[in-house]
A and B are shown apart, each in its own frame.
Chain A
Amino acid sequence: MIRIRGLTKRFGDTTVLDAIDLDIEAGERVVVIGPSGTGKSTLLRCLNFLDRPEAGSIAIGDVEVDAARASKKDILALRRATSFVFQNYALFANKTAKENIMEALVIVQGQPRQQAEQRALDVLAETGLAEKADSYPAALSGGQQQRVGIGRAMAIGADLMMFDEPTSALDPEWVGEVLDLMRRVAERRQTMLIVTHEMQFAREIADRILFMEGGRIVEDGPPAQILDAPRDARLKQFLRRVA
């Protein structure tokens, strides 16, 4: 269960997140859509303090943090309760695929190496990359890198998995395999918060879709409502544009 209240982020004078309230049930898959520059990435990045919010509260699983008073310990706790998939994969270039996945397990969670290695190999098998375990990111295609990126986030076993436009940097030929992997993650009722421009995928995978505009959540509902019966004028306009 995730509970966000009054989450506010400013860059200089511009308010990028304007007192966001949001609840997400355990196992829910929530997709965020909206025009460019409306704060979708910032919302995700504030939930694990890659961007530091100025105000509001975040509760994820057992971790509760008041943004204005967040200590280093609070921030680490939030980051350990979440995992993040980046648009540009952001794999550790000095680690193999297997080591990219093991890193969080051994260094952050303190698992024994052998156990972590087994888990990493299991995850790689699920992502269809078993034979790439010892490859460095530089030797992988974009699609393979992003599947490792998703594997790295899966292995952590976080309460919330966040995806920031995971297919936007990919050549079209690799988009399908990454979306397939995300569908498999979703089937396990992993709580997911996904920013994407893939509307068909959103319709299929989402329990709820949030439409963001100007740092606020303007409309929030099941895919059928948001995509087929939009109420807000800006959402209607946005859907016309992406259709």
Chain B
Amino acid sequence: MRALDLDYMLGLVPVILGYVPLTLFMAVAGMICALVLASLMAVERVIKVPGLDWLVILFISFFRGTPLLVQLFLFYYGLPQVFAFLTQIDGVTAAIMGLTLHFSAYMAEAIRAAITGVDRSQWEAAQSIGMTQAQMMRRIVLPQAARIAAPTLVNYFIDMIKGTSLAFTLGVTEMMGAAQKEAAGSFLYFEAFLVVALIYWIMVELLNQGQKVLETYLNKAYAR
């Protein structure tokens, strides 16, 4: 056993930190797209649009039923062989799209459950005052569902941040890719990947703390 090369690790920290913005960019972009897609699918699952329902069920089943890495490879390396226009897509875009599709399937289920968690009599009250279905969803149901789903969605965001490391396999130089390149010169693989692990860990811990604050806030909601 050899001692850790702490100086090397300290020197590597700023290098890897330089790639944190890319990681956050992929995660935030993926999260925003996934939230939109998931909300649409969740609302569809609740009100069941004829002709669309089976498609949404199939989508959710596939993206929850296969590994993210397989989906990314299928998307980035596989599909362009079938659809030529997809060769234009770079690794970052492909990763964001892959993360979006994958996590939207999970988040759709979480949001659907949250929508069902809104007391049915409030739906009826909204209908009884003459609201349209869209008004009821937008003003009464979704705001309350968002509060119910928020802690779960933060967890998916954390998973998504960790998931961005898979972009490495699509040839994107993100935190993992950068560490790999550094280590290829120094042969200090353990130190390099340990730095990556620690930086992920700290990011996720910060978000966990944020989530605790969020939950306290949400538990106090509507109590005035």
Contacts and interface: CB of A to CB of B under 8 A. Distances in A.
A99 B223 CA distance: 15
A94 B223 contact: no
A48 B128 CA distance: 7
B144 interface: yes
Interface in B179-224: 221-224
Interface stretch (A11-19, A132-140, A178-186, A227-235): A132-140
A48 B119 CA distance: 19
Contacts of B127: 48-50, 79
B130 A92 contact: no
Given A48-B127, A90-B119, A136-B224, 15 more contacts: A49-B127, A76-B130, A79-B128, A79-B130, A83-B129, A84-B128, A90-B124, A91-B122, A92-B140, A93-B119, A94-B222, A95-B140, A107-B135, A108-B135, A138-B222
Interface string A15-45: 0000000000000000000000000000000
Contacts of B119: 90, 93
A90 B121 contact: yes
Given A50-B128, A94-B143, A86 B121 contact: yes
A209 to B, nearest CB: 24
B36 interface: no
A80 interface: yes
B124 A86 contact: yes
Give the bracket for the number of chain B residues in contact with chain A.
20 to 34
Interface string A195-206: 000000000000
Interface residues of A, number: 30
A156 B129 contact: yes
B129 A152 contact: yes
A84 B128 CA distance: 6
Interface of B is mostly: helix
A240 B58 CA distance: 58
Contacts of B129: 79, 83, 103-104, 108, 152, 156
Contacts of A84: 124-125, 128
Nearest to B146: A94
A190 interface: no
B121 A139 contact: no
A76 to B, nearest CB: 6
B125 A92 contact: yes
A88 B120 CA distance: 11
Contacts of B130: 76, 79-80, 104, 108
Contact of B223 (A50, A134, A139): A139
Contacts of B125: 84, 86, 90-92, 152
A135 B124 contact: no
Contacts of A95: 140
Contacts of A76: 130, 132
Nearest to B220: A138
B48 interface: no
Nearest to B120: A90
B139 A90 contact: no
A160 to B, nearest CB: 12
A44 B59 CA distance: 41
A104 B119 CA distance: 19
B37 interface: no
Given A83-B129, A84-B128, A135 B122 contact: no
A3 to B, nearest CB: 21
Contacts of A83: 128-129
Given A50-B128, A103-B129, A92 B122 contact: yes
B126 interface: yes
Contacts of B128: 48, 50, 79, 82-84, 86
Nearest to B147: A94
Interface string A167-195: 00000000000000000000000000000
